[in-house]
């Protein structure tokens, strides 16, 4: 068989931008009723969505393979291999972007789906059990995974008993064997949420949410007002696997979540979102950047809460008489120009021009759902529950897809009348501005919809070693 590098691997983000448009999406579809233990619940599934506007099944679920257990809470997903495999210091060009891995955030299993030979009909081919992860790494509740130059990196929220610390373990990208815990010296790090890296600077960054016991039953008001959730970033030496530096947003800014580093490997900066300020319910976006030999951190965007009537608010918010933005996800286009901000409380997807990362400019917004607004879609048949939550951007930056559910117990606190499973699409103007696609609306039926992965890679799946 002749040697050939996977055609979906790109040495640079610039080359990835020039790739063909995506035709399908893979979306994690958790079953809230299964998580809540309701009778007759269906299992979680992987939804395959047709993204081709010329297809007769455009904007429809064309396959829905289920997992064999109940209550996994499929959340994020990631590829076994991607463009990072082309990095010069640990090249693995013989691997291919074939397997999609789906961690169960409650069960701690990881399901492996084979998307080849038929990408429109992936098959479950392997399951990594929680016991293997615990035995080989000491971790539990796998959350986010990234395909690195030398394997699959998986971050976790904590230990099997639900306490901390959370951290990262590494898997083989072909056998899916758990190699073991990544950290050699974790320093002051204890809480965990997301991680990513600057491959050109041998630097890994991680963020903080809470231990499993702090988050699985829902938002704990006592912990929130007591400023006990995560509010720090951690800087690591990627090759030496050692903690180097701690960056603190300040304990007012609770839940430092999604990390979006610049895609250009010559640039050492990125963005992180803080979900809520206990001072005024605002959300904020922070910039980390290299300052000499160390990293610095500063707030670059603040989104205020909106006044609201007590009658329109869920019990958790009635006393505040306001709707917090609840920024729960952000995403950065491959050209590092536009940052997308999901306001899961107010129902906005915001676009910012971050060509100058220190001075973002608000350039566009669409509204859908929201705790109070309940803004509908042309094809939703009325008001929507949920709001922009998980955001994914096409390689060329022209299309943005998002779903409306967060995490079952949190969904039910902020949307007590239920969150419907849906996925929509937005067109992004290359000069700035957003427009909702009136013809793209996917109904997930009895399941909710969470992370979107695009065929051949997207703005949050790959990292690059060449500019």
List, for residues 357-394, the tens digit of each pLDDT value. 999 999 999 999 999 999 999 999 999 999 999 999 99
Short-list 355, 371, 352, 351, CA closest to 436? 351
Task: Work out the pLDDT band at 132, boundaries 50, 70, 90.
Answer: very high
In this predicted structure, the answer to whether residue 162 has a pLDDT above a threshold of 80 is yes
Per residue in 228-248, pLDDT tens?
A: 999 999 999 999 999 999 999
Measured distance CA(279)–CA(272) in Å, rounded: 19
Measured distance CA(313)–CA(323) in Å, rounded: 8
Q: Which residue has the higher pLDDT, 142 or 2?
A: 142
In this predicted structure, the answer to whether residue 329 has a pLDDT above a threshold of 90 is yes
pTM of the model: 0.97
Window from 90-104, 117-131, 133-147, 148-162 with minimum mean pLDDT: 90-104
Element spanning 16, H or E: helix 13-17
Q: Which residue has the higher pLDDT, 329 or 5?
A: 329
In this predicted structure, the answer to whether residue 3 has a pLDDT above a threshold of 70 is no
Stretch 439-461: mean pLDDT: 97
In this predicted structure, the answer to whether residue 1 has a pLDDT above a threshold of 60 is no
Per residue in 257-288, pLDDT tens?
A: 999 999 999 999 999 999 999 999 999 999 99
pLDDT at 89: 76
Question: Do residues 438 and 414 make contact, with C-beta atoms less than 8 angstroms apart?
Answer: no
pLDDT at 91: 63
Stretch 156-185: mean pLDDT: 98
| The CATH number of domain 13-454 is 2.130.10.10 | yes
Stretch 79-89: mean pLDDT: 92
pLDDT at 274: 98
- Alpha-helix residue ranges (DSSP H) falling in 48-177: 130-137
Per residue in 331-350, pLDDT tens?
A: 999 999 999 999 999 999 99
Window from 47-61, 87-101, 148-162, 441-455 with minimum mean pLDDT: 87-101
SS3 call for 32: helix
In this predicted structure, the answer to whether residue 43 has a pLDDT above a threshold of 70 is yes
Task: Work out the pLDDT band at 2, boundaries 50, 70, 90.
Answer: very low
The domain segmentation of the chain, as residue ranges, is: 13-454
Measured distance CA(455)–CA(118) in Å, rounded: 12
Residues 6+ apart with CB under 8 A from 183: 167, 168, 189, 236, 241, 242, 243
For residue 431, report the phi and psi dihedrals to the nearest 5 degrees.
-95, 0
Peptide bond into 165 cis (omega under 30): yes
């Amino acid at each position: 068989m002749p040697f050939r590098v996977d055609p979906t691997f790109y040495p640079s983000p610039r080359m990835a931008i020039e790739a063909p448009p995506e035709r399908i999406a893979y979306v994690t579809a958790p079953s809230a009723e299964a998580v809540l233990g309701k009778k007759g619940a269906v299992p979680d599934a992987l939804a395959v969505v047709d993204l081709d506007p010329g297809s007769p099944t455009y904007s429809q679920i064309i396959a829905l393979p289920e997992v064999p257990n109940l209550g996994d809470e499929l959340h994020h997903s990631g590829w076994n291999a991607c463009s990072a495999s082309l990095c010069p210091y640990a090249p693995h060009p013989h691997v291919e972007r074939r397997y999609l891995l789906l961690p169960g955030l409650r069960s701690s299993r990881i399901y492996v789906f084979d998307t080849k030979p038929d990408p429109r009909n992936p098959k479950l081919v392997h399951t990594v059990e929680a016991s293997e992860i615990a035995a080989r790494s000491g971790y539990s509740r796998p959350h986010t995974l990234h395909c690195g130059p030398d394997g699959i990196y998986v971050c976790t929220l904590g230990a099997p008993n639900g306490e901390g610390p959370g951290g990262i373990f590494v898997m083989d990208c072909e056998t899916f064997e758990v190699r073991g815990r990544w950290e050699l010296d974790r320093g002051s790090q204890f809480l965990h949420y997301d991680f990513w890296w600057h491959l050109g600077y041998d630097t890994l960054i991680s963020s903080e949410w809470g231990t499993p016991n702090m988050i699985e039953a829902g938002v704990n008001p006592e912990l929130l007002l007591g400023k006990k959730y995560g509010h720090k970033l951690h800087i690591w030496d990627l090759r030496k696997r050692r903690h180097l530096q701690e960056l603190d947003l300040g304990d007012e800014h609770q839940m430092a979540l999604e990390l979006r580093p610049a895609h250009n490997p010559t640039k050492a900066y990125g963005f992180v979102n803080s979900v809520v300020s206990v001072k005024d319910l605002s959300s904020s976006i922070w910039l980390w950047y290299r300052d000499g030999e160390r990293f610095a951190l500063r707030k670059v965007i603040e989104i205020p809460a909106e006044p609201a009537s007590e009658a329109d608010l869920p019990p958790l918010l009635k006393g505040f008489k306001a709707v917090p933005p609840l920024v729960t996800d952000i995403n950065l286009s491959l050209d590092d120009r536009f940052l997308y901000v999901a306001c899961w409380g107010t129902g906005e997807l915001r676009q910012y021009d971050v060509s100058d990362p220190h001075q973002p400019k608000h350039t566009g917004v669409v509204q859908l759902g929201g705790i109070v607004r309940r803004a509908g879609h042309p094809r939703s048949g009325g008001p929507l529950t949920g709001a922009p939550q998980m955001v994914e951007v096409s390689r060329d930056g022209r299309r943005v897809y998002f779903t409306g559910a967060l995490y079952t117990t949190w969904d039910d606190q902020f949307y007590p009348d239920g969150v419907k499973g849906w996925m929509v699409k937005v067109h992004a103007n290359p000069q700035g501005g957003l427009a909702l696609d009136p013809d793209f609306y996917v109904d997930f039926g009895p399941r909710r919809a969470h992370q979107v992965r695009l065929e051949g890679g997207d703005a949050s799946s790959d990292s690059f070693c060449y500019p």
